[in-house]
Structure 1
Amino acid sequence: MAAPEFGPVSLVLVRMGVSALLWGYLLLGEVLSLQILVGMAITLAGTAIATGLLRLRRPGRGLDCP
């Protein structure tokens, strides 16, 4: 089964919340709590995994395995 393709529009929609929170902090002086920062990190990590920018190693797939 092939991996699903993600277009640029879907990735922009995912990151829109992160950028809105950052702009609110920078321009409006809104408070960023620990929960918000963790959520932003999870969102960006998920986007990186979906785009292939960040690859996860699977257990048992070392260099010595064919």
Structure 2
Amino acid sequence: MTPPLIEQSTPEERRAYVLDAWKCLHNCELCGKCHVLKGQDVEILYADYIEGRRSYMEVTLDIRNRSY
């Protein structure tokens, strides 16, 4: 599924996409989503995309490249 383009979607549509894309699959050993998110709220991590400031891919790459 392709994320909605900022210029062709509402914040509500983008929020719904993010929540659906990152929903828990209840299979931690195979999924890995929790590992990528590092226990942080997906709506906070993707706030720039939801509000239309940055693309989904830009935010995703920042999340994957961050160091702790």
Do both share a fold (TM > 0.5)? no
Larger radius of gyration: 1
TM-score when normalising by structure 2:
0.30
